[in-house]
Amino acid sequence: MTSASSTKLDFANSPINQALTTERKIELFSQMVRIRRFEQAGLKYYQAGKIGGFLHLYIGQEAVAVGTISLGGADDHFITAYRDHGHALAVGMGMNECMAEMYGKQTGCSKGKGGSMHFFAPDKNFWGGHGIVAGQTPLGLGLAYGLKYLGKEGCCLCYLGDGAVNQGAFHESLNIAALFGIPVVYVIENNGYSMGTSQKRSSAYSGCLAQRAEAYAIEWDVIDGSDIYEVRAKTHIAMERARKQHQPTVLEIDTYRYYGHSIADANHKKYRTPEEIENYKQNHDPIAVFRRRLIEEGVLTEETATAINKAAADEAAASVKFAEESPAPTIADISTDVYWETDHDTSASKIGRHFFND
Amino acid sequence: MSRILTYREALREGLDEELARDPNVVLMGEEVAQYNGAYKVTEGLWKKWGDKRVVDTPISEAGFIGMGIGASMLGVRPVMELMFWSFHSVAFDQLVSNAACVRYMSGGLCNCPIVVRGPANGGTGVGATHSHIPEGLFAAFPGLKVCAPATPADVKGLIKAAIRDNDPVYVMENTLLYGTTGEVPDPAEGDFVIPLGVADIKLEGSDVSLIAHGRSVIHALAAAEILQTEHGINAEVLDLRSIRPLDQDAILKSVMKTNRVVLVDESKPFGGVSAMVAMLIQEHAFDYLDAPIKRVCSIDAPAIYSPHIEHEQLPNPRRIVDKVLTLV
């Protein structure tokens, strides 16, 4: 959904965006394009039956992950729900390991044990990829608690959808975040629909969903998710509040998904009008908006943009080939990564029976 | 020199020693700090260790247990108290989908070194909502470890092993055991840790094996005395201590010696720890059995309140004796 604001500010002039070099701007644009091309390839091979399970596409929402994660420093951490491909690529995970994971291959980021909804890269401060709506919200709280406990000046960005705001775990997390002064930023990626139920039919609210934060004395803001400059400018403030003041924030980033809740969502053209989808694509597509902007700024040319697009499509195609050619997990692989102690063959793992197979 | 401590004191001593050993160990839970613990397990620890290491949480089991899981992924080692294990149900998604599965779903990239502890028992007249006994339930999830210590020494040794373990360990205590006493080795004699996965013969015997865990061990010992003095039956009492990992060798060794077995399990009969143990015995010691495997579990209904009858719903020495007498 898009903000109704008629007096839109230009966030290109905010210091955090003024600090962007030409190269960095092109890199952010490229990341958004890569996410879209990766997912388009995923969709193609999901529909061809090569990828199992669910496929929750991020297409239309790319500026949210790319804009927010671009602000991350060494001690900033990220965790999200099952619509996780965009965040995974934005933190720097490779297309190969992500595509192979969706293919259920041994070379996948989770060795084919997690699937599309469960991408992880702790070495890049990315902690998943979580399948239960709002189940990750206490974990994000805990990552931020851990940062504070360990004396790190960092924060955790914890993403959730607009449907997740009605889960108890989220409210418990907000209360604790405020009570304990936890450096967590909750980012509600509001695409307007919790599966097939619109925001108005699923949530009780006065102005917006983020405003619920007031009940917990937490700062909040609303962001136009089609404008990566606005995403960066406002999220930066929340992250600084977390890092420097140990105070949480709830951000609501208005965005839109072009596809259904998942590709198994057969009704997504029934609960939304074709006009609504078309309007977003024409006027608010985050990649098209940023592309136009960068061309206006003289940062990008049509030729460069086209080349970036082609490179991303080629990279996605190569990741499909990598996934296709990778080996599947073995039956023996089913029983690893269950316990740390057995995986590391420790003395503790040799005492008592850990597995109860027939 | 051993000292006589209560179960509660021994448990507290174990927590205190681990707080001293590792600065990343943090105790969290409802009323654990300033109130000194709903059951006084953590009494004095907040005063000694302060706000950072002993943390009072709001009544938000999903929130604070999930917070502990998230923090553990970064290397903090939270030891979280459930005032009653019965409250697991409001945190179930965190305890199962997150704690048990995050290592697996990440292909081994994450680990979750948490301890969740608290009492899990019936027998205190608090009705069905506060009398759940979920050790079998959680042991059914690969990725989790579960133990149920019965004595002061065991609870100290096992809580220390649980905190040092790099996987999630759920420690099931018992409000009716907190005040019981027993010998516990003196810390001056060295670090006292009991590994997970090691059962303990609490009483040697030759005629029948009583295999139990938690407070059922105490009932089994009382039953063994009655069996010896009144019926001339020499019972062995094997305390599982740890449910998962499980000391299968000790179970089979005892059964192969006595050839008869009664499993005593405070859980309900359907599924659960004793059902699993019975399965293992029939699979691996079938030829050694001179009688069918029998069980004494809680009577199969939600926990009754009435103090007049509650003890009859639970395993007790008389029910155990009666069951043994059907075998010999």
pLDDT tens figures, A275-324:
999 999 999 999 999 999 999 999 999 999 999 999 999 999 999 999 99
B166–A142 C-beta distance less than 8 A: no
pLDDT tens figures, B303-322:
999 999 999 999 999 999 99
Q: Is A151 on the interface with B (CB under 8 A)?
A: no
pLDDT tens figures, B120-148:
999 999 999 999 999 999 999 999 999 99
- A-B C-beta contacts closer than 8 Å: 189
pLDDT tens figures, A129-152:
999 999 999 999 999 999 999 999
Chain A positions touching B166 (Cβ under 8 A) are 340-341, 344, 346
CB atoms within 10 A of CB B17: 19
- Domain segments of chain B: what residues? 2-189, 200-325
**Which residues does A116 contact at the CB level (< 8 Å), separation at least 6?**
A42, A51, A53, A54, A55, A56, A82, A84, A85, A101, A102
Q: Is A142 on the interface with B (CB under 8 A)?
A: yes
**What are residue B200's DSSP bridge partners?**
B239
B248–A353 C-beta distance less than 8 A: yes
Q: Is B52 on the interface with A (CB under 8 A)?
A: yes
A351–B195 C-beta distance less than 8 A: yes
pLDDT tens figures, B223-260:
999 999 999 999 999 999 999 999 999 999 999 999 99
- Average pLDDT of chain B to the nearest whole number: 97
Q: Is A334 on the interface with B (CB under 8 A)?
A: no
Q: Is A296 on the interface with B (CB under 8 A)?
A: no
The strand order across the sheet containing B235-239 reads B200-203, B235-239, B208-212, B261-265, B294-297
Q: Is the pLDDT of residue A268 over 90?
A: no
- Average pLDDT of chain A to the nearest whole number: 96
B247–A141 C-beta distance less than 8 A: no
| Residue entry with tokens 């939304």 | A272
B200-325 maps to which CATH number?
Answer: 3.40.50.920
User: Nearest by CB to A111, which of B24, B64, B107?
Assistant: B107
Interface of B with A in 2-31 (CB under 8 A): 24, 26
- Which helix (H) or strand (E) segment holds residue B211: the answer is strand B208-212
- Up-side HSE of residue A151: CA atoms within 13 Å toward CB? 3
A121–B74 C-beta distance less than 8 A: no
Rounded Cα distance between B215 and A273, Å, is 62
A110–B74 C-beta distance less than 8 A: no
Q: A121 phi and psi, to 5 degrees?
A: -155, 75
Residues of B with a catalytic annotation lie at 61, 130
Q: Is A147 on the interface with B (CB under 8 A)?
A: yes
Percent of chain B with pLDDT over 90: 99
Question: What is the model's pLDDT at position A2?
Answer: 47
One-character DSSP codes across B133-155 = --HHHHHTSTT-EEE---SHHHH
Q: Is A339 on the interface with B (CB under 8 A)?
A: yes
Q: Is A351 on the interface with B (CB under 8 A)?
A: yes
Chain A positions touching B242 (Cβ under 8 A) are 352
pLDDT tens figures, A230-259:
999 999 999 999 999 999 999 999 999 998
Question: What is the model's pLDDT at position A6?
Answer: 61
Interface of B with A in 198-227 (CB under 8 A): 198
Q: Between vectors from CA A142 to CA A141 and to CA A143, what angle results, nearest 5°? A: 95
CB atoms within 10 A of CB B126: 16
Q: Is B195 on the interface with A (CB under 8 A)?
A: yes
B296: pLDDT confidence band, cut at 50, 70 and 90?
A: very high
Rounded Cα distance between B77 and B71, Å, is 8
B97–A338 C-beta distance less than 8 A: no
Q: Is the pLDDT of residue B261 over 80?
A: yes
Q: Is the pLDDT of residue A4 over 60?
A: no
A111–B105 C-beta distance less than 8 A: no
Percent of chain A with pLDDT over 90: 92
Contact call for residues B218 and B177 (beta carbons, < 8 A): yes
A337–B104 C-beta distance less than 8 A: yes
Chain A positions touching B108 (Cβ under 8 A) are 111, 336-337, 343
The residue among B109, B166, B279 with the most chain A CBs within 10 A of its CB, best to mutate, is: B109
Superfamily covering domain A24-196+205-327: Thiamin diphosphate (ThDP)-binding fold, Pyr/PP domains (3.40.50.970)
Rounded Cα distance between A153 and A132, Å, is 29
Closest CA to A160 of A193, A192, A188, A135: A188
Q: Which residue of A has its CA nearest to B98?
A: A135
The residue among B22, B67, B146 with the most chain A CBs within 10 A of its CB, best to mutate, is: B67
In which region does residue A62 sit, left (phi positive, over 0), alpha (psi from -120 to 50) or beta (all else)?
A: alpha
The residue among B94, B106, B112, B244 with the most chain A CBs within 10 A of its CB, best to mutate, is: B106
Q: Is the pLDDT of residue B198 over 70?
A: yes
| Residue entry with tokens 């005593």 | B264
Tell me if the bond preceding B245 is cis, omega within 30° of 0.
Answer: yes
**What number is the average pLDDT over the span B203-219?**
98
pTM: 0.96
Question: What is the model's pLDDT at position B238?
Answer: 99
Q: Is A109 on the interface with B (CB under 8 A)?
A: yes
Rounded Cα distance between B103 and A242, Å, is 28
Q: Is the pLDDT of residue A1 over 50?
A: no
Question: What is the model's pLDDT at position A7?
Answer: 75
Q: Is A110 on the interface with B (CB under 8 A)?
A: yes
Q: A306 is written with which tokens?
A: 């086209």
Whether the domain at B2-189 and the domain at B200-325 fall into the same CATH topology = yes
Percent of chain A with pLDDT over 70: 98
Chain A positions touching B68 (Cβ under 8 A) are 142
A5: pLDDT confidence band, cut at 50, 70 and 90?
A: low
Q: Is B105 on the interface with A (CB under 8 A)?
A: yes
Contact call for residues B149 and B173 (beta carbons, < 8 A): yes
User: Nearest by CB to B67, which of A131, A141, A339?
Assistant: A141
pLDDT tens figures, B154-171:
999 999 999 999 999 999
pLDDT tens figures, B25-73:
999 999 999 999 999 999 999 999 999 999 999 999 999 999 999 999 9
Rounded Cα distance between A230 and A93, Å, is 25
B161–A141 C-beta distance less than 8 A: no
pLDDT tens figures, B182-191:
999 999 999 9
**What are residue A353's DSSP bridge partners?**
B246
Q: B43 is written with which tokens?
A: 């009494």
- Domain segments of chain A: what residues? 24-196+205-327
In which region does residue A255 sit, left (phi positive, over 0), alpha (psi from -120 to 50) or beta (all else)?
A: beta
B2-189 maps to which CATH number?
Answer: 3.40.50.970
Rounded Cα distance between A149 and B126, Å, is 37
